[in-house]
Structure formats: C-alpha cells, structure tokens
Amino acid sequence: MRSARVGAARLKARNQVTRIGRTNEGPLRATARNEILCGDCVASMERLAQESVDLVFADPPYNLQLANRLHRPDQSLVDAVDNDWDKFANFAAYDAFTRDWLAQARRVMKPSATIFVIGSYHNIFRVGAIMQDLGFWILNDIVWRKNNPMPNFRGRRFTNAHETMIWAARDQSAKNYTFNYEALKAANEDCQMRSDWLLPICGGTERLKDGAGRKTHPTQKPEALLARVILAASSPGDLVLDPFFGTGTTGAVAKRLGRDWLGIERDGDYRAAARARIAAIEPLPNETIATAPSKRTEPRIAFASLVEAGLIAPGATLVDARRRHRAVVRADGALSLSGFVGSIHKTGALAQGLPACNGWTFWHYEEKGALAPIDDLRAEARERLKVAAE
C-alpha cells in the first residue's frame, strides 16, 4: 500500500513519473470512481476535482531507514521492507514529500470528509505534526495492536507490536463528519469502540503472493483493518481515496461494503494484482451494509410530548431499574421527586447524586408487571410520527 513517490535522492526518476502521469492522464476528473490511476500520487491528486472525496485512507512510505540486512538467530534472512519507494535521502526530503501529498489530499476532501493515515514510530510523529501545520484537525490516534507481530530478533528493543493511525477532519470547523457510532457500539457488545484495535497482520489466503510464493507487496494491510475504518467513517455510495493503493486492499474492502473507491499506484505489478483482486470481489447485499440509524438524526421528542400524546398519564409513577427511586409524572411533563420538580434528566441525576443523567434510560414505567425504560415510549412516539408523515 505504500508505493507512491521515491525520495529526493531519486529526483530524476520521480520527475519522470510525474511527467508521464500528467501527459497520459489528462485534465481534472470530477467523477473518477472505481479506477486505479497510474502515476505519482501528488500529480494524480492535483488533477482530481476539489472537494470530491468522502474518505481518505493513506498508507504512505514509512521511511524505515534500514541500513543493513536483518537476520534471524538461525541466520535466515528477514523479509524486511527494502524497496526503493521507502527510501529517502534524509528527513527533510521525507517531510517535503509528506507535506506535498497531504496538501493535495486535503484539497480533494469534502468539508465533511476525514482522513486516516497509518504509520510506525519511524514516521507517524512527523506526519502528525505536518498534518496539524496544514490545518487538519486530529480526532483520534488509533493503535493497531497486532496479535501476531514479528519479534525483535536482535533483542535490543521491545517487540514492535503496533502501528498508529491518525484520524483527522479537514479542519477544526468540521462538525458533520461521518462517524457511525451506534453501529460500532453495537458491534462491540454495546460498548463504545475503543481507540486500540487488536487485529492480526495480513496472512493466510488473504496475503497475495506471486508464482514463486513470494509476497506480492511487503506491507499489505489486513482487510479487517480497512473494514473497520470504512465502516466507521463512511456510508454506502461514498468515495474512498487511497493515494498509495498497492495491491488494492482499500478498493477490495470498499467494493465489498458498497462504497466507491479510487486508487493511485505507479507500480505496474501492484496495479495488476489489485485489478485482479478487486474484480473477484462480490459486493455484500444492501441490507447488510445499510448505515445503522443514528439517534442524533432522529426527530427530537420531549417527554412532555409523551404526556400530551397519552403514552403516559399524569400521576403515573416512574422508577429506576432496581426500584430504589420513585418519581411522579406531572401534567406539564416534568417529574416530581421528593418535593423537587424538574426534567427527567435532572430528577434522575438528583436521585443518584450525580451531575448528569440520561433520564430516558434511567426512568422506567411498569406495564403488565414488567419494567421498561421510558425510551421505549419515545421510540413509539417517533414511529407514530413516521406513520403520520406517510
């Protein structure tokens, strides 16, 4: 995934790639979708329409600075990343490259778009500082914990068992970016999805190999990682851009999940592998990928509306789930608790001695001997509104 531009030491070759990209690709494309663009990532993004992308996933060169070959204790050679595309003359050259591609990625992002950039300790701190300098607004750093990392063979450092992703909005003013909170929470046993993700590295049948059994790409990312990124921060039909496309993990996962994709890759072998891989993908049925409804987008319902609609009567008693606290429903939609009159939230907080409370889930009503949260009545009220609208 990390093949794009080489370092300043290979400036001549880089400029040749750029010229080829500009000459062969033509003018800006406002609707380029489900394609792999051939060429330099910066030159290719320069030709894309401004504010045309919904999500960016970037796996840039890490600048690993490997000076010597690495051997295991049995003297076998470690299959490390020593490709030319990961080599830069110095940190200044790497920073200039990073600034260039990030600036173009930010230009093509919609105001509501977000970007994920993955890296290791070799580069992610430099990337993060440059992102902030360019105006990106960092939302989270996410740790990908590998449950099967490569050991440290020299025994001189901790085992490097994680990589870091920076998730950022285009700027500080972005408030309506996509984050499928409810879906992620439901998939995580009704607990908020954390910022540390335990996932295996790419292996088995998912790992692409050539005819000789060698890895097609040295840094192929697991599809599970891309699936979580795409499900978290995009909706079906959105356009996902990957400027360092490699063997097409982003495109394969995006297609399966009903998103459009756009990749940029200058290596012909990687492009061929990606095309074959993506062509074999079958999109999932629409009902399995539809965005889960968000409570934030549902119409606001006041508790007083439930009283007015006759869903709960004045004088009814509400209790908490353990029946330790009791409050009486007033005709104006407030609750009375031991002489205090307030909203469902303030009375719930007072009952528990807390500064705040979600009264919709704290207070329960009794029906046929069973307790149910008043949030169920709010759902019924919303359903009535939908029926009336139809």
Per-residue pLDDT at 148: 76
- 9 lies in some domain: no
Query: Among 258, 288, 318, which residue terminates a domain?
Result: 288
- The verdict on pTM exceeding 0.75 is no
Mean pLDDT for 240-255 is: 95
Its domain, for residue 172, covers 35-288
* Higher pLDDT pick, 336 / 190: 336
DSSP 9: G
- 8 lies in some domain: no
- Is pLDDT at 116 greater than 90 in this prediction? yes
- Is pLDDT at 6 greater than 50 in this prediction? no
Residues 243 and 356 in one domain: no
Residues 374 and 278 in one domain: no
Say which residue the tokens 């998730």 belong to: 167
CATH code of 71's domain: 3.40.50.150
- Is pLDDT at 153 greater than 70 in this prediction? no
- 215 lies in some domain: yes
Per-residue pLDDT at 212: 77
Q: Give the confidence band of 122 by pLDDT, cuts at 50, 70, 90.
A: confident
Residues 69 and 39 in one domain: yes
Per-residue pLDDT at 113: 97
Q: Give the confidence band of 213 by pLDDT, cuts at 50, 70, 90.
A: confident
Give me the sheet containing 370-373, strands edge to edge: 340-342, 335-337, 326-329, 317-319, 364-367, 370-373
- 133 lies in some domain: yes
Contact 163, 147 (CB under 8 A): no
Cβ neighbours for 47, distance < 8 A, ≥ 6 positions apart: 22, 25, 26, 27, 28, 29
Please give the Cα distance from 167 to 193 (Å, whole number).
Answer: 14
Per-residue pLDDT at 173: 93
DSSP 143: E
Residues 172 and 56 in one domain: yes
Please give the Cα distance from 55 to 78 (Å, whole number).
Answer: 34
Phi/psi of residue 99, each to 5°? Answer: -65, -40
Residues 281 and 307 in one domain: no
Domain total in the chain: 2
Instruction: With CA atoms as reference, report the closest residue to 222 among 158, 291, 149, 166.
Output: 149
Residues 261 and 320 in one domain: no
Residues 317 and 246 in one domain: no
Contact 327, 347 (CB under 8 A): yes
Please give the Cα distance from 5 to 86 (Å, whole number).
Answer: 9
Residues 258 and 310 in one domain: no
Three-class secondary structure of residue 148 per DSSP: coil
Residues 57 and 130 in one domain: yes
Say which residue the tokens 């295991």 belong to: 72
Per-residue pLDDT at 151: 74
- 339 lies in some domain: yes
Mean pLDDT for 366-382 is: 92
Per-residue pLDDT at 18: 30
Query: Among 257, 288, 319, which residue terminates a domain?
Result: 288
Residues 250 and 310 in one domain: no
- 26 lies in some domain: no
Query: Among 288, 319, 351, which residue terminates a domain?
Result: 288
Per-residue pLDDT at 299: 76
Per-residue pLDDT at 66: 54
- The fraction of the chain above a pLDDT of 90, given in percent, is 62
Residues 67 and 142 in one domain: yes
Q: Give the confidence band of 10 by pLDDT, cuts at 50, 70, 90.
A: very low
Contact 9, 89 (CB under 8 A): yes
- Is pLDDT at 5 greater than 60 in this prediction? no
Per-residue pLDDT at 72: 44
- 4 lies in some domain: no
Residues 262 and 359 in one domain: no
- 17 lies in some domain: no
**Mean confidence (pLDDT) of the chain:** 85
- Is pLDDT at 211 greater than 80 in this prediction? no
Condensed to tens digits (0 to 9), the pLDDT of residues 55-98 reads: 999 999 877 665 555 444 555 544 545 566 556 788 888 999 99
